[in-house]
Structure 1
Amino acid sequence: MEFKELNLSPLLLKALEKKGYSQPSPIQEQAIPYVLEKRDLLGCAQTGTGKTAAFALPIIQNLMECPRKRQQKKPIRALILTPTRELALQIADNIKEYGEYTPVKGTVIFGGVSAVPQIQDLRKGVDILVATPGRLNDLIGQREIDLSYVEIFVLDEADRMLDMGFIHDVKKVIALLPKKRQTLLFSATMPGEIQSLASKLLHNPVKVEVTPVSSTVDMIETSLYYVDKANKRKLLEYLLKHEDITSTLVFTRTKHGADQVSKYLTKAGINAAAIHGDKSQGARQTALNNFKSGKLRVLVATDIAARGIDIEELSCVINFDLPNISETYVHRIGRTGRAGLGGRALSFCAIEEKDYVRDIEKLIGKTIPVIEDHPYPMSVFEIAPKEETSSGRTSSSRRAGNAKKDASSPKAGNSKKASSSQKAASSRKDTSTKKSASTQKSNSTQKSASPQKTNSSQKNTFPRKNASPQKAASSPNASNQKKSSAPKKATSLIKTVPVSKTAPPKEAAPNHQQQSQPPSSRRSKPIIRTLHSR
């Protein structure tokens, strides 16, 4: 069958002829007639089967045959929602090529770049809008996009939308669409979630399924290499240097892994670059263009970043990390051997990935041939039980943690407080004991010294000059005790009283002195009274 047998417009046939297309692919042959009839459609097809043309060509023709009403601004009549920027760009480029000789205009919007030029294109008016969910919802929120005139809605790569967590954004968009519309849903796989989504979106749909999983794998030469995780990069370098591999797409599970593999290959003298979600749009597009042109031999990518990469002559796909979803394996290797051409798919398997191999072989219904003759065979055949190692670590860590808890527990704090309080109490007792002892000592000394002072003062009243030396000689310790315990004012009063020979006795002064003096100074009252009595 040829395209002209599908009742396509001569303007579209002219564009297809310019691109060198004359015969439709199986999905194009089955889907185009139903889309031209404006039927809802559920298409199950792998990447590289030509599904973009399967919905783009009939959409352009339907929009031409039913021109819009005269309005100042062109409304958006067809919306195509895709999960990634690369896929959005690819679809937009195809629509531009197919509609080259038609009045239908289209544009594309996606995140990661400035929205200003995209908004300018939208304000000029477009018939077909290709968009990613995030940027579409952003511009809807800014009131730059109105979906109330959409006649055709296409949800492409629906399974990947679910994997990437875009289902909520997709539902927001669907809620803004007119109830009366044509809906086309395409997916590489048909898990239960996709079937449930399709039952809600589609009304009496036609199901088109081409290129089953088994036939996709049959057209590709697959092989499996068992290798330790630490030697995967070495094995990759060995195969790229010794095998006849021209352009290779290497899949890793993580973004960090993609960067590490790319850097390793570059140091080994192999032209390689990595693309993933953390790369800027410019860097991703540059790497993709260099890979398509042949400047790069190896392109390392994650599953999400690789969506939409359309390379006609991809000689090999290497699963550096096996996917944990079996359908993803089929989707990966489907990028080589497109359009019925042959290709190669090599997969590396570490000990912890053996379960993935079993699930993949169950899905494809065949065993993947194992290549044992390579320089980095697997040496680790068992995984250490996690429970034993974790329990050992946990017990030791628990002991350490308990020790730390005991050291930092409230009880320990209380014991510390108790010990410190005991120390403080004992020190207080010691100081109080010392003070009481010193007080008793001073009191006893003072008592013993006072009679001596009295006697000496009575004996040596005449002459007076010998009174003070005898006092000093009689009890030097007592004087020191007095100096240490009694205030300085009391000492000065005691010294000044005996010196005043001719001072007349006054009764008020002693009383005043007694009231103002501290208790220790009052002990010298008998001396003062004895002197005055004499």
Structure 2
Amino acid sequence: MSAHTPSKPDSPTFAELGVAVEICEALATEGITRTFAIQELTLPLALDGTDLIGQARTGMGKTLGFGVPLLDRVFDSAEVEELDGTPRALVIVPTRELAVQVGDDLTRAAAKLPVRLTTIYGGRPYEEQIEALREGIDVVVGTPGRVLDLHQRGDLQLDRVAVLVLDEADEMLDLGFLPDIEKILRALEHEHQTMLFSATMPGPIITLARSFLKQPVHIRAEEVGSAQTHATTRQVTFQAHRMDKAAVTTRILQAQGRGKTIIFARTKRTAAEVATELAGRGFAVGSVHGDMGQPAREKSLAAFRDGTIDILVATDVAARGIDIDDVTHVINYQTPDDPMTYVHRIGRTGRAGHSGTAITLVGYDELAKWKVINDELGLDTPEPPQWFSTSPELFDALSIPEGAQDSVGRPRRVFGGPAAAVRGHAPRPPRRKPRR
């Protein structure tokens, strides 16, 4: 469960805040009893049916901050109509991966409730999602495009929705989903509770909140003006030559204490190339990018979660919503395009009390991009040092043992992909039959 991390020992329990005993028991079986800051602040208001705006960085426990009161109200509120198989709650998230993650978390929290939940998103056949809706569903978690599509086709009823959640609203804005969101909101003309969660509050999101929320309470789970990156994340940035980045990354992956690691590439092609290169050097690696089908992406993410592989190479869009607490390292193989992408990327580590390391390899042609990120976020590294895969400074900064090698074993295949070529030897092309 994404919130399965330590909270403050003096924070109130879910039971103390009035959450239904069935939900408290389900959370307790996951080792969760006490609330995080965002949960402590939102629960009393959300359980009461108040509209709210929750502002907190990713990895701070937002899912249960809205998920617990949503389930509690659907199950037990006098203001919510009796369950009859048409949705009483709708959670909208920006990406397929986050839909799966939120769906899993809510399913576990609802394990002892007679509440039926499904996730709907693109990349999956319509038939299975329509069948689930026809059989009867109480809570829907979905992405904007597929939710709107199924609603417009008449397969998804929204007229009984009593609780609406917009999660990661700023990411939905970044991905161009705002028109779809507005259409969905206009379809919910009846009385209902709306909760909007966002790490940042750009102008269009504030306008959206003013238009569609009813006297919302704005909750921040951190101090005004606090840093946009987690204090528990150590940031290491240096200039690396494009031709040396694979060797540098190989050394970093041998650092002491390295656990699950996400490597970010800017393009689908680079993501595929880096994954193949690292598999060829003997690492257990998978990939998540736009050229892969949804089932293959889900398979890679599941393998990363359960430890089958400990390295995931991902593009930004594919990786949004990867909500895994025990990621120890994030490597920006290519410098992000803008400051918010940097914040989202490195937010995959140092989550909810864990410590993490975020490493950015700045190519010589990427210095201008880095300077914009550095200036806007106040990172105090305008001119990163130049390090190579053999630089002692690299080894010292990241606790890499002196004996770190160019490879760590026999070439492997990228998880779910073709077999890796032995480095230096391209795979032999298939022999053509002679023409007759």
TM-score (normalizing by structure 1): 0.67
Task: Confirm or deny: 8 A CA contact 2:38 2:65 kept in the other structure.
Answer: yes
The aligned amino acid for 1:152 is V
Paired with 2:82 and 2:198, the residues of 1 have a C-alpha distance of 36
Aligned partner (choices 11, 17, 20) of residue 28 of structure 2? 17
- Corresponding residue of 1:230: 243
- Counterpart in 2 of 1:127? 138
Distance in 1 (CA, whole Å) between partners of 2:109 and 2:257 is: 36
2:124 counterpart SS class: coil
1:91-490 pair list within 5 angstroms: 91-211=102-222, 214=227, 216-241=229-254, 244-368=257-381, 370=384, 372-375=386-389
Equivalent residue, structure 2, for 1:29: 40
Give the superposition deviation at 1:117: 1.8
Whole-Å separation in 1 of the counterparts to 2:353 and 2:256: 23
Higher helix share: 1
Identity %: 37
May I ask how many residue pairs the two structures share in their alignment?
Answer: 376
For residue 243 of structure 2, what is the amino acid of its counterpart?
A
Alpha-carbon distance, 1:259 to partner: 0.7
Residue in 2 that maps onto 1:429 = none
**In structure 1, what is the Cα distance between the partners aligned to 2:365 and 2:199?**
27
Tell me: CA distance 1:217–1:17, structure 2 relative to 1, closer, same or farther (3 Å).
Answer: closer
Q: Specify the SS of the correspondent of 2:196.
A: strand
Summarize the Cα distance change of 1:59–1:227 in structure 2 as closer, same or farther, 3 Å threshold: same
Please give the alpha-carbon distance, in whole angstroms, between the structure 1 residues aligned to 2:186 and 2:390: 54
Paired position in structure 1 for 2:95 = 84
* Higher RCO (Cα < 8 Å, 6 or more apart): 2
5+ long unaligned stretches in structure 1: 378-534
2:66 aligned residue: 55
CA separation in 2, counterparts of 1:347 and 1:64? 46
Confirm or deny: 8 A CA contact 2:232 2:351 kept in the other structure.
no
Secondary structure of 1:74 counterpart: coil
Q: Which whole-Å CA distance do the structure 2 matches of 1:375 and 1:18 have between them?
A: 45
User: Does the 8 Å CA contact 1:217/1:364 hold for their aligned counterparts?
Assistant: no
Three-state SS of the structure 2 residue aligned to 1:20 is coil
SS in 2 for 1:55: helix
8 Å CA contact 1:248–1:318 kept in 2: the answer is yes
Give per-residue Cα distances to partners, 1:348-374, cap 9 Å, x unaligned: 112332233333333433324945453
CA root-mean-square deviation: 2.1
Contact 2:263–2:313 (8 Å) recurs in 1: yes
Radius of gyration: which is bigger?
1
1: CA distance, partners of 2:308 / 2:137: 35
CA shift in 2, pair 1:166/1:185, >3 Å = same
- Counterpart of 2:359, as a letter, is L
Amino acid at match of 2:71: I
Q: CA deviation at 1:105?
A: 1.9
1:375 positional shift? 3.2
Asked if the contact 1:231/1:376 (under 8 Å) is kept, the reply is no
- Alpha-carbon offset, residue 242 of structure 1: 5.2
Query: Where in structure 2 are there 5+ consecutive unaligned residues?
Result: 1-11, 392-436
Deviation at 1:70, TM superposition (A): 6.0
Deviations 1:168-201 (A, max 9, x none): 2212211211242211111122222222222222
2: CA distance between counterparts of 1:373 and 1:110? 43
Distance in 1 between residues matched to 2:341 and 2:304, nearest whole Å = 22
- Partner secondary structure for residue 218 of structure 2: strand
1:6-30 CA deviation, whole Å, 9 max, x = no partner? 1111111111111111211110011
Residues in 2 aligned to 1:264 and 1:243: alpha-carbon distance in whole angstroms:
22
Deviates more, 1:340-349 or 1:113-122: 113-122
TM-score by length of 2: 0.81
* Aligned residue in 2 for 1:387: none
